[in-house]
A and B are shown apart, each in its own frame.
Chain A
């Protein structure tokens, strides 16, 4: 019973914060509202006793991606001042699209019969690790190794983007022409 109440409270928090996140005209506020949604999701995982997943949600999303988003926002130029409010036509179209989306998903959720997973969900971290290192049936050793390649690609992509390794941009920088990169970034 209490679990049900907590679930509904968390769901309510998530809905309210996601609405606030998309309707807020201050970009940093909407990032903070998004943080609320992510933390409530972590709360859901902890509610279902999926502690490892909850901790991942906190570290990677709340502690990693949100810091990235906040820092990315600070890179933009007119950060402090609100975004322009979209005009009437776009507002109406947007709300219409959202309503259709909500209706379709509501329809799907109510008509589809969900089968509860019977049996004990083994979410022990050691079991997870053993599966990850196991190469036989039900082992995940190949995905585990591929992840490292994916992360390597991520590092290279990050450096290429942030260091301006794109060839035509570099050429323009060398010839002294103005580039799209703002020159007002100072050493802090």
Chain B
């Protein structure tokens, strides 16, 4: 039994001791909801801080370093400032859609985060179609961006929203197909099965060549899916102001900002779970002593190390590559990534059929 499983079991027992079974179930749900909301907010703030520190590191500056130790409280102060700002929109806006848009983004990110296992048995919602469910709920997030752009009554917003719609739906195909490539190796969509299948080798080593191609495609299309540089023409500052959220301010802007960073976390967490073993420790073949030491590091630590590595990679991209044009973006997806992905999935199927995997 892993540490995280013991923890959830202990909480369960404690609640059962205090309430009747029905009430305990409800209390458990409320606690889970609160825990995820807290995680959501804290992860968002931490990622914004990290982004700024890493950006500063790449540009040989210091970054936020005044508020709190090492500037740790800077993003908290920013969040407080955003809450206290007056919300300003446009007069002619479609106010219903304008205020509805953040709900789509936040709820879809929250649901996507809930299926990712952060440790043994440590996910809120281990649904049997896990990977597909994640693809499904994140495809709803596109609509939030489209109606945000529509509702704001601003040309920049509308152009940004449409670009984003075209970009996100295109790259969703690559995300889905590269995940399916790995599902071929696992034979189950449930996230806990996906992690369990990697107890001997991580999937990226198990599937060697096609798995590595799929990993690269996933990272590229995941970066595009979460609208990050070099694929951030949705909010290309030099041409579109702030893109689809030009007209949002104060707390509503904060939601768009938050969901952007949380989407980056989700993409990284999925990459870590599906390709790099999730919370499974790093093992090398028969090196008993080494493997034993690695087992001492708890699962969630492994999970966050791997996720953090991919987040760092995505932040690195941001300061390395220049922004693409929209026609180049579409060409990259439809002419290169999608055909490559289809061929790659066939290659993986051939390898699985022949049994040429570890």
Which chain A residue has the least Cβ–Cβ distance from B142?
Answer: A67
Interface residues of B: mostly helix, strand, loop or mixed?
helix
1/0 per position for A18-58, CB-CB distance to B under 8 A? 00000000101100100100010000000000011011101
Which residues of chain B are within 8 angstroms of A52 by Cβ–Cβ distance? 129, 132
A55 touches which of B133, B163, B188 (Cβ 8 Å): B133
**Is B251 among interface residues, defined by CB-CB distance under 8 A?**
no
Given contacts A28-B150, A29-B94, contact A70 B143 (CB under 8 A): yes
Interface centre among B97, B139, B162 (most CB of A within 10 A): B139
CB distance from A57 to the nearest CB of B (A): 8
Given contacts A51-B127, A70-B150, contact A62 B143 (CB under 8 A): yes
**Is A66 among interface residues, defined by CB-CB distance under 8 A?**
yes
Give CA–CA (A66, B169) in the complex, Å.
12
Whether A62 pairs with B97 at a CB distance below 8 angstroms is: no
Interface centre among B127, B136, B153, B187 (most CB of A within 10 A): B136
**Is A125 among interface residues, defined by CB-CB distance under 8 A?**
yes
Which residues of chain A are within 8 angstroms of B129 by Cβ–Cβ distance? 51-52, 55, 125
Whether B100 pairs with A32 at a CB distance below 8 angstroms is: yes
Q: Number of B residues whose C-beta is below 8 Å from A? A: 30
Which chain A residue has the least Cβ–Cβ distance from B97?
Answer: A32
Q: From residue 68 to 120 of chain A, which have CB atoms closer than 8 A to chain B?
A: 70-71, 74, 80
Give CA–CA (A70, B172) in the complex, Å.
18
CB distance from B229 to the nearest CB of A (A): 21
Whether B136 pairs with A59 at a CB distance below 8 angstroms is: yes
Given contacts A29-B94, A55-B136, contact A67 B143 (CB under 8 A): yes
Q: Which residues of A contact B (CB under 8 A)?
A: 26, 28-29, 32, 35, 39, 51-52, 54-56, 58-59, 62-64, 66-67, 70-71, 74, 80, 124-126, 188
Selected A-B contacts with CB under 8 Å, 19 pairs = A32-B100, A35-B143, A51-B127, A51-B128, A51-B133, A55-B135, A58-B139, A58-B140, A59-B132, A59-B135, A59-B136, A59-B139, A62-B136, A62-B140, A64-B139, A67-B142, A71-B146, A125-B129, A125-B189
- The 10 A-B residue pairs with the shortest CB-CB distance, nearest first, are A63-B139, A58-B136, A55-B136, A59-B136, A51-B129, A55-B132, A55-B133, A70-B146, A52-B129, A62-B140
Seed contacts A63-B172, A67-B165, A74-B150; 20 additional CB < 8 Å A-B pairs: A28-B97, A28-B147, A29-B94, A29-B96, A32-B97, A35-B143, A51-B128, A52-B129, A54-B136, A55-B133, A56-B136, A58-B137, A59-B132, A59-B139, A62-B136, A62-B143, A63-B140, A70-B143, A70-B147, A70-B165
